Homo-oligomer: A and B are copies of this chain.
Amino acid sequence: MRIAVFAGDGIGPEVTEQAVRVLQALEINGLELVEGDVGGAAYRKHGHPLPAQTLEIARSADAILFGAVGDFSLDHLERALRPEQAVLGLRKELGLFANLRPATVFKGLEDLSTLRPEVAGKIDLLIVRELNGDVYFGEKGTRTLEDGRRQGWDMMSYAEDEVRRIAHAGFKAAQGRRGKLCSVDKANVLETSQLWRDVVIEVSAQYPDVQLTHMYVDNAAMQLVKNPGAFDVIVTGNLFGDILSDQASMCVGSIGLLASASLAETDGAQGAFGLYEPIHGSAPDIAGKGLANPMATILSAAMLLRHSCGMEAEAARIEAAVAAALADGVKGGDLGGSAGTKEIGDAVIARL
């Protein structure tokens, strides 16, 4: 197994370092780690946020462990050169179309949510977000209209096969959980959503054991506040998924603990190619200070072992070690504790 490690910007390197230490501590036979540059760090070194050599490393690997990208001091660059393009480029180039974002409140940490503990404590949902289509990757531009006005435009679209494969991912995820799938769209306004809804309904015929519902995105944003515990799996497009998955993460209250996977296939076969990353960003304000909580990245490494390496036992070992460290009060500043980056890494390794 060859794992590409792309640490990126801000706190990316320090949190990734701890996740790598955890992987190494497992002493997995034949696990090879290869580093690559992404984001602002890559731009400064190679003039591009996703250099060709990084993409090559990614293609030669079985999975990617990703830190974070983002660097406000590069915001003046044209969009194609900004750090975030590394994320978008990897998703598109590697066909990482299925983003799995679990949001679950850790037992004992209900108080970290701004939601009432009795509401937050019930959150146990998974957002399955499409990552390769929608208004993200359509044609776009700025033009001057005939009457001289400037106009910015972006084409939103989904083709049936794009919807079908993410719908399957959603239904399969629901089968492995509580059997409920909520498809989120805006079919009362968007043709893209109407096609989305039609295809999801077609696919549902193959999953009679999953209970499918549909919800408009504005209502979904409300229900995630009112009663997030009612959701099991949510499947949605790239743009709505961007918004709702971040909202759901914040409902949990401990962003420093949330991991995510972006997969290139989801057919249940062991060893899907995927990219794994914490959902928090590059947090430039605390970068380099040893203050960042590496747990989300460590949990991302666990997801990597599970989904891309078929190593369920090792994944569970990491997760149990993180849970044990938390239970013993090892908490980063984001969780109201005072443990530093390396201290948390040490604590997890000690409990493996």
Chain A interface (Cβ < 8 Å from any Cβ of B)? 79, 82, 84, 88, 114-116, 119, 135-136, 138, 140-142, 145, 149-161, 186, 188-196, 217-219, 221-227, 239-240, 242-247, 249-251
Query: Distance (Å) between the CB of A220 and the closest chain B CB?
Result: 8
User: DSSP class of A's interface residues: helix, strand, loop or mixed?
Assistant: helix
In the complex, the answer to whether A154 meets B115 with C-beta atoms within 8 Å is no
In the complex, the answer to whether B189 meets A218 with C-beta atoms within 8 Å is no
Query: Distance (Å) between the CB of A244 and the closest chain B CB?
Result: 7
Cα distance, A37 to B221, chains bound together (Å) = 30
In the complex, the answer to whether B161 meets A152 with C-beta atoms within 8 Å is no
Residues of chain B lying within 8 A (CB to CB) of residue A160: 149-151
9 interchain pairs, CB-CB under 8 A = A82-B188, A84-B189, A140-B190, A145-B159, A154-B156, A154-B191, A221-B243, A224-B247, A225-B247
- CB contact under 8 A between A191 and B153, given known A219-B246, A221-B247: yes
Besides A79-B194, A152-B158, A221-B246, 14 more A-B contacts (Cβ < 8 Å) are: A114-B227, A135-B189, A136-B189, A151-B159, A151-B195, A152-B191, A152-B194, A153-B191, A154-B156, A218-B243, A222-B249, A224-B247, A225-B251, A226-B250
In the complex, the answer to whether B222 meets A142 with C-beta atoms within 8 Å is no
Residues of chain B lying within 8 A (CB to CB) of residue A154: 156-157, 190-192
In the complex, the answer to whether B156 meets A153 with C-beta atoms within 8 Å is yes
The 4 tightest CB contacts between A and B, nearest first, are: A152-B195, A153-B157, A221-B247, A222-B250
In the complex, the answer to whether A161 meets B149 with C-beta atoms within 8 Å is yes
In the complex, the answer to whether A190 meets B151 with C-beta atoms within 8 Å is no
Q: How many copies does the complex hold?
A: 2
Residues of chain B lying within 8 A (CB to CB) of residue A227: 114
Which B residue sits closest to A150, measured CB to CB?
B160
Which B residue sits closest to A192, measured CB to CB?
B152
Residues of chain B lying within 8 A (CB to CB) of residue A219: 246
**Of B84, B191, B239, which contacts A142 at CB under 8 A?**
B191
Query: Distance (Å) between the CB of A225 and the closest chain B CB?
Result: 4
- CB contact under 8 A between A135 and B159, given known A88-B189, A247-B247, A250-B225: no
Residues of chain B lying within 8 A (CB to CB) of residue A82: 188
In the complex, the answer to whether A195 meets B157 with C-beta atoms within 8 Å is no
Cα distance, A190 to B225, chains bound together (Å) = 27
**Residue among A119, A150, A224 having the largest count of chain B Cβ atoms under 10 Å:** A150
Cα distance, A211 to B160, chains bound together (Å) = 45
Cα distance, A186 to B217, chains bound together (Å) = 17
In the complex, the answer to whether A135 meets B156 with C-beta atoms within 8 Å is yes
**Of B119, B156, B195, which contacts A114 at CB under 8 A?**
B119
Which B residue sits closest to A138, measured CB to CB?
B153
In the complex, the answer to whether B158 meets A151 with C-beta atoms within 8 Å is yes
Residues of chain B lying within 8 A (CB to CB) of residue A149: 159-161
